[in-house]
Amino acid sequence: MQPRRRFTVPLPGGRTLALGERTLIMGVINVTPDSFSDGGALFDPAAAIDAGVRLVEEGAGILDVGGESTRPGASTVDGAEERRRVLPVIEGLAARVSVPISIDTYKASTADAALAAGATIVNDISGLRYEPELADVAARRGTAIILMHTRGRSKDMYQQAIYGDVVAEVLDELRESISFATGSGVAKTRILIDPGLGFAKEAAHSYEVLARLDEFGELGCPIVAGPSRKSFLARAPRGNAPGGIAASGNTLPASARDWATAAAVASAVLSGVHIVRVHAVEEMRQVVRVADEIRRYHRVD
């Protein structure tokens, strides 16, 4: 267990995000009718805003607002509809909470409008591969940006989940995203990376990435991990399956995966990630607190 590197990430408006002393919790707000996690419970803006306030009270240090489901097989949403969903929520939250607000989008137009409405972080699941012009928005707005690893789109990502060494390949592809961002004028101090657990990865791939999260420190950016309620957590061990992980056999609905999420979150914290993205903030706050305390008492030889 290596010491966790500390970062000060600049945000718009002269604010900064201090990372490394403790693990920060990012609370998820899905403003969609087809969320895999909550089935559209927060599709109403007022409900989403109230939920965001509650997540902050429970311990969220960042709120992540998304208007398009990116679960495997999900349909895309056009920019106008995505903005209709998220902008009232971001505006409402910006007036009621003091923590940074992240916009979960890969669309340049949505990111630009969300940043104008009060968001200060862009969370791009595509690592700037879907809409490269998003890098120009991030550079112009002076926002922080999370670059996540994936391959393909929601409908075909698992067809591209073919790896020799999954960690080495994810690292290489994230390096490409970082290089493109900095080449577009985004300061590296504003870049965070997310290895993309569950995205274009079979269950065994996600478990290997989770077990080797400490290796992502070599990229020199804060690390975000999002295991919360992902389908790979529901894969049961099966006899002679590679790595002991079943390729199929989802046995638990998303809402019943919080115990599994807790194990993944604890592992991620012990590996030194800076932010965990979760749905059940109050429960995961306890997990993060204990895992952070274990880290504090760990002796480095």
User: H/E/C letters for each residue in the chain?
Assistant: CCCCCCEEEECHHHCEEEECCCCEEEEEEECCCCCCCCCCCCCCHHHHHHHHHHHHHHCCCEEEEECCCCCCCCCCCCHHHHHHHHHHHHHHHHCCCCCCEEEECCCHHHHHHHHHHCCCEEEECCCCCCCCCHHHHHHHHCCEEEEECCCCCCCCHHHHCCCCCHHHHHHHHHHHHHHHHHHCCCCHHHEEEECCCCCCCCHHHHHHHHHCHHHHHHHCCCEEECCCCCHHHHEEECCCCHHHEEEEEECCCHHHCHHHHHHHHHHHHHCCCCEEEECCHHHHHHHHHHHHHHHHHCCCC
Q: Of the listed 107, 190, 230, 235, which one is catalytic?
A: 230
Residue type, 38: D
Q: Of the listed 235, 277, 285, 295, which one is catalytic?
A: 277
d(CA 64, CA 123): 8
Respond yes or no: is residue 71 known to be catalytic: no
CA–centroid distance for 93 within its chain: 19
Respond yes or no: is residue 107 known to be catalytic: no
Active-site amino acid positions:
230, 277
